[in-house]
Amino acid sequence: MRSRQRTFAAVMRLLLKCLRLGRRRRFKLVRQAEQLWHYGHLCLRSLLYNSFTNGDVVLDSLFEPIYWLVDHVTRWFGVVFVALVIGLTSSVVAIVYICLLPLILQTYTPAWICWHLAYGHWNLIMIVFHYYMAITTSPGHPPQAKDDLTGVSICRKCIAPKPARTHHCSICNRCVLKMDHHCPWLNNCVGHYNHRYFFSFCLFMTMGCIYCSISGWEMFRDAYAAIERMKLLEKERLQVAANQTYYQTPPPTFSFRQRAFHKSVVYLWVLCSSVALALGALTLWHAALITRGETSIERHINKKERQRLQKKGKVFRNPYSYGSWDNWKVFLGVDVPRHWLTRVLLPSPHLPRGTGLSWDLPPCVMEPRVPLLAI
């Protein structure tokens, strides 16, 4: 009996020792896993540490694959967008010449006919000229040799000199002087040498669409009412044909030419009104940027810099702004009063002020620039 008790006690002691060893081993494994986790976390933070890292940088890194996809899609579909702009504009011009111009010549007074012919053709010439120049003119790229430039940084993507106001376009894969944005409707970047062409195209296209919308409002109402009458008569004709015992259908009330005319007028008015609203908003946005002497990219940079300096009790001043009126004169290349006619109201291929590599005070600006920082 005693031997059985001793054997049972020995087995229980052995079992308890095994449990203690297993528990200690488990605790040891947990401690080792925690140490490895903290060590890996510390290594990751040491490798990725940057004093400028914030939530925006993390979001940009997460969305990098989406940016890559959008850049490649935009690059390949740029030609399609340009063809779409040319096709839609050509369709509107064809409708005006085929449908509206004969009606204007028959019903309007000679004074109004002269006005429509003069303004319409002038607006069309300005649109075609500036769009052609915007898509064919290079926005400007910095030279590859650093010896030609002083006081510039290096682009971290193309490893090339990066002058002031220059930014890298991920779609063109090149640095662009005074880059504003990459426009898929131009299949080109908007930069130093074609920024004026881009804005002028947007402005004159908006003016042309507003002109067509206002001038064709009464025609649009008549055409829309005629289309509604077409639908009603077509419905009645089908009902009559269904009640007849023979298969002869009555002749159509409206001819094909009448249907095409009314639908073309409705198409023209709807398209011009839609483009006027969308492109008009974009034109106003760029007009506000030009008034402040900024580009689309610089607006975001200056906003962050303004907030950063505001926390320190300082005021940010844009070093490339010369005042609202002078900013427009520099942007449009107006040096003397007659340039408002020859360079703004008429097609002009003149180059912008400067080379885009340095930004000296233009001769047309009388007042000196404000300092970069002011306390």
Neighbours of 294 (CB within 10 A): 21
Runs of H (alpha helix) within 171-323: 195-215, 217-243, 256-292, 296-311
Per-residue confidence band for 8, with pLDDT thresholds at 50, 70 and 90: low
Is the pLDDT score of 371 beyond 50? no
Residue 23's Cα: distance from chain center in Å?
Answer: 63
Contact of 139 with 188, CB cutoff 8 Å: yes
Is the pLDDT score of 361 beyond 50? yes
The C-alpha atoms of residue 80 and residue 346 are separated, in whole angstroms, by 29
Residue 118's Cα: distance from chain center in Å?
Answer: 32
Neighbours of 352 (CB within 10 A): 20
The C-alpha atoms of residue 17 and residue 9 are separated, in whole angstroms, by 12
Q: Quick one: pLDDT at residue 359?
A: 82
Per-residue confidence band for 137, with pLDDT thresholds at 50, 70 and 90: very high
Half-sphere exposure of 348 (CA within 13 A, CB side): 17
SS3 366: coil
The residue type at 63: F
Residues of the chain above pLDDT 70, percent: 75
Which one is catalytic: 169, 183, 209, 212?
Answer: 183
| Token reading at 65 | 């694959």
| Token reading at 30 | 């947990």
Buried b (16+ CB within 10 A) or exposed e, 89-100: beebbebbeebb
| Lowest-confidence region among 47-51, 79-83, 247-251 | 247-251
**Packing angle of the helix pair 195-215, 217-243 (nearest 10 deg):** 60
Q: Quick one: pLDDT at residue 77?
A: 81
**Rounded average pLDDT over 59-79:** 71
The C-alpha atoms of residue 21 and residue 120 are separated, in whole angstroms, by 95
The C-alpha atoms of residue 260 and residue 257 are separated, in whole angstroms, by 5
Task: Report DSSP state, residue 353.
Answer: S
Largest Cα separation within the chain, whole Å, is 134
Paired sense of beta strands 188-190 and 181-183, if any: antiparallel
Is residue 183 annotated as part of the catalytic site, yes or no? Answer: yes
| Token reading at 119 | 């303004």
What's the predicted TM-score (pTM) here?
0.77
Q: Quick one: pLDDT at residue 360?
A: 79
Lookup result for tokens 């008009």: 280
**Rounded average pLDDT over 73-90:** 88
Contact of 332 with 364, CB cutoff 8 Å: no
Higher pLDDT, 251 or 46: 46
Is the pLDDT score of 169 beyond 50? yes
Q: Quick one: pLDDT at residue 372?
A: 43
Q: Quick one: pLDDT at residue 373?
A: 40
**Rounded average pLDDT over 331-352:** 93
Q: Quick one: pLDDT at residue 158?
A: 82
Q: Quick one: pLDDT at residue 189?
A: 94
Q: Name the nearest CA neighbour of 369 among 331, 332, 322.
A: 322
